[in-house]
Chain A
Amino acid sequence: MHTPEETLEEILNLAAAHFKVPRQKLTPDDDFFKTLGIDSLQALDLLTRLENHFHVELPDYELQGVSDFRTLAGRIQARL
């Protein structure tokens, strides 16, 4: 079972690795669209990677209005 902190940390690590951004540049309250420089299509790609990584199903409407890593981690944690 992941703790909320572990979930958040894994999301940050996964996003940094996939979008080739130095991990130290990412903080939990960053707007991931801006920090990662991604559009909605790449956000869907991130969603799929996170679903595959955590083995959860996260309907895209649950991400409506979510743009920071901390809230995203909360949504995933709620389904673990």
Chain B
Amino acid sequence: MNQFHGQSLSWEVKDGVVELALHREPCNEIGSLTLEELEKFAAALKGMAEGAHALIIYSNMKPGFCAGADLRELYHRSQQMDRTAAAAGVREYLERIHRVMNTIDASPLTTIAAVHGVTFGGGFELALVCDLIVADKMARFCFPELRLGLIPGFGGIPRLKRDLGNAVVRDLLLTGRSFNATKAQSVGLVSQVVGEGESLRVARATAAQLKKFDRNTAIAAKQFIKPIPYDELKREIDLFCHLFAQPAVEAGLKKFVESTDAQPYLP
């Protein structure tokens, strides 16, 4: 399926480049609907990869690339279940999103996240599966999960650790502060920082450059340099599920959901 237009996302293949656009109000929060459409994308990716060389993931939403998991849906769904059922539901959700993330991470395509604005939590983790991150100078990266009594659950810690020094990982994880694009580039997270509104254009120019190289060589190079930390990813799911069962999480989620601010992103 080389083309799809869903409620949360769309994709198409143009000039050997698969473009995945996120477009769910308000900022591409990843809930059950987005997950279903991401699974469709992951299933279609292998077929599309045969005739392509690059994948670009970007957002059509003004506030940013992706604000992460849909915490309101997570909270309301967990309220409708007993604790055991809620814990099992969270584990199943995480295993599904990990399968999607791992598929994109392992794709033979060279993958580029073109990000702007809010790139938080699960959105940050989606960017981290990509080989390159091109960031608008207004992009911000953050792991706010500790504020809720959780850790990132979509593979963020092992992937960040793969790419960066442990001290930077601890800074992002333990303080919950956000990095702007310049800071993110200075620590080695971002490949290019570009002007406002330019990230997709630059990602496309980068994808066009990649087309000049032999595909098999590019695939071999990627496999050599970018191992997927499967064991740590599994342990991350276990730790997330353990923490999710603690009372602090319900209180944190309740506070977030009941906030009168439309998007309570400041700590």
Contacts and interface: CB of A to CB of B under 8 A. Distances in A.
A57 B27 CA distance: 25
Interface stretch (B14-22, B154-162, B210-218, B256-264): B256-264
Contacts of A64: 266-267
Contact of A44 (B182, B183, B266): B266
Interface in B95-145: 117-118, 137-138, 140, 142
A40 B180 contact: no
Contact of B178 (A39, A49, A60): A60
A61 B177 contact: yes
A66 to B, nearest CB: 10
Interface string B223-267: 000000000000000000000000000000000000001111111
B126 to A, nearest CB: 18
A63 B264 CA distance: 14
Interface string B33-75: 0000000000000000000000000000001000000000000
B118 A60 contact: no
Interface string A45-80: 100110110000101110110000000000000000
Interface in A15-55: 39-41, 43-45, 48-49, 51-52
Contacts of A45: 117, 138
B68 to A, nearest CB: 13
Nearest to B171: A59
A51 B216 CA distance: 42
A48 B182 CA distance: 10
Nearest to B186: A57
Contacts of A52: 137-138, 180, 182
A41 B140 contact: no
Nearest to B263: A41
B175 interface: yes
A61 B180 contact: no
B138 A60 contact: no
B138 A41 contact: no
Contact of B265 (A44, A48, A57, A59): A44
A48 B68 CA distance: 19
B118 A41 contact: yes
A40 B264 contact: yes
A60 B261 CA distance: 17
Given A44-B266, A45-B117, A52-B182, A59 B261 contact: no
B160 to A, nearest CB: 18
Given A41-B118, A44-B178, A48-B140, A57 B267 contact: no
Contacts of A39: 261-263
Given A40-B266, A43-B266, A64-B267, 10 more contacts: A39-B263, A40-B265, A44-B140, A44-B266, A48-B138, A48-B140, A57-B180, A59-B175, A63-B266, A64-B266
6 contacts: A44-B118, A51-B182, A59-B177, A60-B142, A61-B267, A64-B266
